[in-house]
Amino acid sequence: MNKRVGAESLFGVGGGTVSEVSRKNLEIAEDLCRKRKPIEALPYLDKALKADDANLDAYIQLAFLAPTLDDSIEVLESAEHKGRGKLKQAFGPNCFDDDSNEVGNFWSILETRPYMRVLQSLVRLSFENKRFDKCCETITEMLRLCPGDNMKQRSWFGSVLLKTGRTKDALHFSQAWMERDTRHHGTLPSKAGCDWKEPSQEPLTQETIDDMSQWTPAEHLYTAAYASFKLWGDCELARQYLHLAVKMNPNTVIKILAKVEQPKSLNMSARSINGPEEAHDYLWLAQDLWMAEDVWNWANSQEATRNLLLRKCSRDGCNNEEKSVAEFKRCAACHEVWYCGPQCQKQHWKQHKKACQEHQRRKQMLKMISQGRPPPKDSTRAVIASADFSAEGVTTRFH
């Protein structure tokens, strides 16, 4: 989450625990890295750390510039140790104990945010280094400290658990976060889903399917479908989860069945819920699991699911429909419409142009807001948004 918007932009990084000199040098370094000038960024990171060696975000940036993944993880582990010590100094030696006032409220306490960002970075780099056990351990700790999961590690955890062979735990975790009260009212699962009970094997009722069809995070549905199949084969529950997953985010399974190459990096664009960017990131995490012969053949054999994926040409008056998944090409600009061929796309452009350009404007606006930049001056809409999801209930401690 961007430190330049939301609570930390008002109170300072970590609630003001990082000095202004250090923060400004870090911002220069971050901007240079965004411009792909990492060598030029290094002196500013050095200045940031010399001005304030408690600037954990500077260690994070340094970790992403380290020559090897092992070096990166070593930097982050050092930052985690330093951050843990600083928080114990601030809140007392027991602040990481389950019965403390702090555990359960990490992230809502501003001073804890840099530490949580270190853990989040450790998750990512451990995953890239295929240290999946370390990845699981770190996410579990993040959810213990912040069960509300402001950093959305729950979208990764199912895939990471599957990578470690913890198939039952992956299914239980996804089922916990897909409970009705969690989806509709934000009621948190017991221990944030980390109480590791036996997952349910019971097929979903039609009432539950209808309710989940309104909205359910697709990454949990795909994890649940995969895990159910691996545990119990071509069972009704696995088919139900897969069918719902396709309804929520067809972009994921379209690329799986089309055998598109697995993404090599995360998608850093502004995103919509269950949109193509989230599908991209899920595939970065877990597409290789789905490409196993038994899993791919199972997904490809589900006729009802495949029928959901077959598209009709978007040009009015054209009745062509796909005969195989991903046969038609999408509009490259908005990815919202499909065409059977270039002729239909050309003919439909006059009708599609306004909606396509509006879609691109919205994405650009979200991107600018998430980067802490003001929206375009010619924007005709008032936009109130924040990349910081904890605007309510934010606290900072003064010492």
Q: If you average pLDDT over residues 19-41, what whole number do you get?
A: 94
Q: If you average pLDDT over residues 151-179, what whole number do you get?
A: 97
Q: If you average pLDDT over residues 85-103, what whole number do you get?
A: 97
Looking up tokens 């500013």, which residue turns up? 44
Q: If you average pLDDT over residues 50-59, what whole number do you get?
A: 95
Tokens for 240? Answer: 């139900």
Tokens for 32? Answer: 């240079």
CA distance linking residue 175 with residue 194, whole number of Å: 11
Higher pLDDT, 129 or 385: 129
3 state DSSP class of 184 = helix
pLDDT over 90 (residue 357):
no
Q: If you average pLDDT over residues 67-77, what whole number do you get?
A: 96
The least confident of 8-22, 130-144, 289-303, 317-331 is 317-331
User: What is the predicted pLDDT for the residue at 368?
Assistant: 65
Q: Cite the beta strand spans of the chain per DSSP E.
A: 329-330, 338-339
pLDDT over 70 (residue 372):
no
The least confident of 111-120, 168-177, 350-359 is 350-359
User: What is the predicted pLDDT for the residue at 138?
Assistant: 98
CA distance linking residue 113 with residue 118, whole number of Å: 9
**Per-residue pLDDT tens digits for 313-325:** 888 888 888 877 7
pLDDT over 70 (residue 397):
no
User: What is the predicted pLDDT for the residue at 253?
Assistant: 92
User: What is the predicted pLDDT for the residue at 382?
Assistant: 35
Q: If you average pLDDT over residues 267-272, what whole number do you get?
A: 78
User: What is the predicted pLDDT for the residue at 390?
Assistant: 35
Percent of the chain with pLDDT over 90: 69
Q: Are 22 and 52 in contact (CB under 8 A)?
A: yes
Q: If you average pLDDT over residues 82-97, what whole number do you get?
A: 97
End-to-end CA distance of the chain: 26
Identify the CA nearest to 155 among candidates 20, 262, 278, 314: 278
Q: Are 351 and 68 in contact (CB under 8 A)?
A: no
Q: Provide the mean pLDDT of the chain.
A: 89
Question: 338 pLDDT band (50/70/90 cuts)?
Answer: confident
Higher pLDDT, 390 or 14: 14
pLDDT over 50 (residue 387):
no
H runs (alpha helix) in 213-272: 218-232, 236-248, 250-257
pLDDT over 50 (residue 189):
yes
3 state DSSP class of 312 = strand
User: What is the predicted pLDDT for the residue at 219?
Assistant: 97
